[in-house]
Structure 1
Amino acid sequence: MGRRARTRRVATITALLATAMTISLAAGCSTPGDGRDDGRAPDKDLRHSPEQTPAAEGSVLAVKIDNVRQAKPQTGLNAADIVYVEQVEGGLSRLMAVYASELPEAVGPVRSARESDLELLRQFDDPTLAFSGAQRKLLPLIDRAPINAQPPGRTSGAYYRGTDKPAPHNLYLRPDRLLPATPGAGALTTGFRYGAAPSGGTADTSETVRYPAARFTFTWSEDRAGWLVSQDGAPTVTSDGERPAPATVVVQYVTIRKSDYHDSTGNYTPYTETIGSGKAKVLRDGRSYDVDWKRAKAADGTDFTTSDGNPVNFAEGQVWVVFAKAS
């Protein structure tokens, strides 16, 4: 399995001077974007003891991040090594940001987990998952999964409510409460390879990916040496005023099917299958490459290869992976 070969600056972790507020899991899994709570399970249903020890060094931190209009601007996105984009109920989107090289002071808004997340996270060794709740029937699967599940209430002071947005779009995480130190790029057992660009490709300065109720556009910027992110026709800007500009964007075409779980209004959660094989488009250095992807089993990372089987290198820097429905 390939491991990420780059080293990024490790930020000094400073605790936010905010008083932790009582967090209810009812903020977790309402229909995306409608701003309502849906009676999600309280904290006591998600923890086996009043407090769980934070993750050991060596494991990545994955955070589920709200991505509807009411949740923006988001916090901590630019520090992530990888940002996964997935389709959720109502054709909307949600993000999973993965941190190994750097921990920001805060990340959020934090929202609920999905069944697909458990499959995706199996590629990492004992990953920590920060999330704000889940479908009640999914909770036993989360408890059994080989992850360090960290909903609100499990580790003291890890979460707080901001005052900038209405609930449930104002729940934030202090990452340093969950990881004692950054594990480093070696923990990113994704199968991604980094290095010189492959030969060929097509000059490409803009690509758009559409979900039923969301749209992402990635525009190449020579100045940033990355792909500026826009969503639903508007530039994506984080709470610190910066635009995410990942060095590599992967549009990975996958099977997206209906899962066994639904929200309080009866909308079934899409299940994104990340094990298997298929086609993908890799964007780097102002060019696009049509490639193949393969992930044989859950514990494996994902291999990206050209049509003749040669590995495809990503550019050094942040990677966004957008899971798009295969035609």
Structure 2
Amino acid sequence: MRPAQRRTALPAALVALALTVTACGGDDSSGSDEPHGVAKSKAAAPETWPLTGLEAKGSTDEDHPALVVKMDNTEASSPQQGLGSADMVVEELVEGGITRLAAFYYSQIPGVVGPVRSMRASDIGIVSPIDGTIVTSGGAGVTINRIKGADIPFVTEGSAGFRRDDTRIAPYNLFADLGAVAKATEDGKDSRPEDYLPWGSDSDFKGGKPATSLTADFGGSHSTEWSYQGGHYVNTNSFAPADDQFSADSVLVLRVDIGDAGYLDPAGNHVPETKFVGDGDALLFHDGKVEEGTWHKDELTSPVTLSTSGGSMKVPAGHTFIELVPIDSKGGAITYAK
């Protein structure tokens, strides 16, 4: 069971409205399979979405946790599927100097996404602040034990919605129908995750230095390149097709320390672990500019707080791509230009 203390109740006014609508609905001619006189619970939407800070309009029929899909991020994954529907994406270092994506879905649930890959211990600090459920191909035994020890639910092959694409080569052929996954993870709670980031508006953004291009170098065989085009940041070396890429309103770079997860992958590489706790430098790219500050997390389960020398840093509401770039001493680097 997910720890309830990390979920917050929906506004009372919205809950009351939902109850009023249910009470005044009259005859139900929807063809529901529910017994006569038993109304199906329908969770009211939150006022804002926790993974984007954007206004939530209407209501949602699917009362599911935030789903975090572990997605491959190598050329073998091309074309990635469903990335453009994510609320937020986090990029993390894995073994061999490559990266993997944690794609977050909550405000909208697409169909098929993937390729779905395995978990890492780094995911504890990434997923637990919003009490999410990981959609994954599995993980090493030590990783699974740590994920379970952190009380993070996960679903994997053999669960509802998972399938193999025979036109692709394993292990890059596992995909998940998130509609089926979301249905299977409904919990009947009128609640929402905590805000993942300190959301604000464009007026809160204090960036002044021009930054229309940036490169996040993970210190191995992969760098992620961004270009500010048409009001959004475009990942110019994405493995997603042009019509299904993640359109970032902001790119948030957090410099992190990297440790050793304590085991080797099948190729004999040491598996790194992102230390997503404590504090470090932060760079917020928005509207073709950059704001410098610091990030802080008291515990792995804590939300991220951001600050500058002048006070708090807020991320303008929208779709954000978070780059967990290793600190310089671990080989990582961030460069940007006008």
Task: Give the TM-score normalised by structure 2.
Answer: 0.74
Matched, 1:129 2:130: no
Contact map agreement 2:80 2:241 (CA 8 A) in 1: yes
**Compared with structure 1, are the counterparts of its residues 242 and 299 closer, same or farther at alpha carbon in structure 2 (3 Å cutoff)?**
closer
RMSD between aligned residues: 2.7
* Counterparts of residues 172-183 of structure 1 (less than 5 Å): 172-180=175-183
Aligned-partner SS, 2:130:
coil
Once the 2 structures are TM-superposed, how far is the Cα of residue 307 of structure 1 from its aligned partner? 1.5
CA distance in 2 between partners of 1:10 and 1:109 (Å): 31
Matched, 1:75 2:92: no
Aligned-partner SS, 1:119:
helix
CA distance in 2 between partners of 1:111 and 1:11 (Å): 31
Q: Which residue is equivalent to 1:301?
A: 303
CA distance in 2 between partners of 1:95 and 1:184 (Å): 29
Once the 2 structures are TM-superposed, how far is the Cα of residue 316 of structure 1 from its aligned partner? 2.8
Q: Which residue is equivalent to 2:53?
A: 5
The amino acid that maps onto 1:213 is S
- 1:32-72 deviation line (CA, Å, top 9, x unaligned): xxxxxxxxxxxxxxxxxxxxxxxx93521001000110101
Q: Which residue is equivalent to 2:38?
A: none
Unaligned runs of 5+ in 1: 14-55
Aligned-partner SS, 1:146:
coil
Bigger Cα Rg: 2
Percent pairwise identity: 26
CA distance in 2 between partners of 1:296 and 1:5 (Å): 22
CA distance in 2 between partners of 1:279 and 1:185 (Å): 32
The amino acid that maps onto 1:59 is P
Unaligned runs of 5+ in 2: 1-5, 7-47, 329-338
CA distance in 2 between partners of 1:185 and 1:284 (Å): 30
For this pair of structures, how many residues does the alignment match?
275
- 1:99-132 deviation line (CA, Å, top 9, x unaligned): 111111011000000011123222013x211110
Q: Which residue is equivalent to 1:99?
A: 105
Please identify runs of 4+ aligned residues in structure 1 that moved more than 4 A: 1-4, 8-13, 181-186
Aligned-partner SS, 2:182:
coil
Aligned-partner SS, 1:115:
coil
Q: Which residue is equivalent to 2:214?
A: 207
CA distance in 2 between partners of 1:141 and 1:260 (Å): 12
Q: Which residue is equivalent to 1:279?
A: 281
Aligned-partner SS, 2:129:
coil
The amino acid that maps onto 1:273 is K
The amino acid that maps onto 1:7 is E
Matched, 1:322 2:323: yes
CA distance in 2 between partners of 1:88 and 1:322 (Å): 13
* Counterparts of residues 136-151 of structure 1 (less than 5 Å): 136-151=141-156
